[in-house]
Amino acid sequence: MTINTGKTFACDICGCGVSSYYNGILPDFKQRILGFRYRFNSLKTHVGVGGIESYLTTTESYRTTEFWGGWNIGKRFRLMTSIPYSFNERQNQGNITRKEGIGDISIAGYYCVFKQETTVLNSNYFTQSLWVGVGIKLPTGEYNPAEKQGSSQNSNLFQLGTGSVDYMTNLMYDLRLQDAGLNINASYKMNGSNSHNYQYGNKLSTSSQIYYKVRPIHNLSLAPNAGIIYEKADGDFNNGFNVDISGGKVVLGTIGLEVTYNKISIGGSWQKPLSQNLANGFVKTDNRLMVHISFSF
């Protein structure tokens, strides 16, 4: 079996460590797992009609290292947590602004609704499982209200955290026939308002991908995979008023590879935007990268 935690932690559809909190196809573990992820994504703000760039156009880059872990409690329950640390950079006309620090820590609990293992079609192995979960994101990352400045033309993305307590619901479904599998994930994050009366829009994230496991030698498994990611964020609220430069949706194609040897797993994915409409066209996201390593014990 494989799992996908599918958590979303930070602010809008991009930036502030938000990127695509797509985690790829993660390895199965019997009791505990610890791992590190590295994510990179970049975007442009102040983009004109048709994607035209001008002297106002700003490039923002988000690099996040993330420590995460999971713990199975019996056969039905699972706890997952994530602690991100981000390096943000913004460039405009040769001027560079940087900030770094811990992001918003999240904790989620999952319940296994069902797990089926059997043989079908001439004794081929078949398994499927469904997990549902709820979680909370804590305001441990710094939120700087000066980044917003009350301007309707200034996107509020260049943050380390939202400054608010947010709640998540998650669904994970995995199906595998022999070595071929399908992984579906969906999560919905409900954002609270922070102490500066700013509330990021609620966000829906879904992913669907197919994979195929190859075992060239004993204890070594290779799982190339490909799929689609869809993200949609509602508009933000500032002091109770709608923020025009916020929210939107994006569809990304993803391709990746997961390698497992004994209890060590290494993997990564490359995500390319296929269509997008972010902040009414004011923001444009670029390709994204995620790599990870994990240890089960």
Rounded to 5°, the CA angle 230-271-59 comes to 100
Those residues whose C-beta lies under 8 Å from the C-beta of residue 21, and which sit 6 or more positions away, are 6, 7, 8, 9, 10, 205
d(CA 47, CA 218): 51
Please check whether residue 286 lies inside any domain of the structure: yes
Which residue has better confidence, 171 or 30? 171
Read off the tokens for 281.
């066209």
- If we measure between CA atoms, which residue out of 101, 87, 79 comes closest to residue 34? 79
| Average pLDDT estimate for 88-102 | 93
Give CA separation, 275 vs 42, 186, 252, 284, in Å. 16, 19, 7, 10
Taking only the tens place, the pLDDT of each residue in 8-52 is 333 444 444 344 456 667 667 789 999 999 999 999 988 877 667
Query: Would 9 be classed as within a structural domain?
Result: no
Nearest of 210, 291, 227, 285 to residue 14 by alpha carbon: 285
Say if 215 falls within a structural domain.
yes
| Count of alpha carbons within 13 angstroms of residue 154, beta-carbon side | 11
- Nearest CA to 24 out of 12, 7, 10 is that of 7
Residue 15 covered by a domain: no
Report whether 85 contacts 105 (CB < 8 A): no
129 in a domain, yes or no?
A: yes
Residue 207: CB atoms within 10 A of its CB come to: 24
With a CB cutoff of 8 Å and minimum separation 6, the contacts of 120 are: 126, 177
Q: Is residue 23 part of a domain?
A: no
Do the bridges between strand 58-73 and strand 95-102 make them parallel or antiparallel, or are there none, so unpaired? Answer: unpaired
CATH number at residue 133: 2.40.160.40
Looking at the 3D structure of the chain, how many domains does it have?
Answer: 1
Domain that holds residue 282: 32-296
Q: How many CB atoms lie within 10 A of CB 218?
A: 7
Cβ distance 226 to 209 under 8 Å? Answer: yes
Mean pLDDT of the chain: 88
Banded pLDDT at 123 (limits 50, 70, 90): confident
Asked, for residue 133, whether it belongs to a domain, the answer is: yes
Residue 58 domain-assigned (yes or no): yes
Output the pLDDT for position 21. Answer: 56
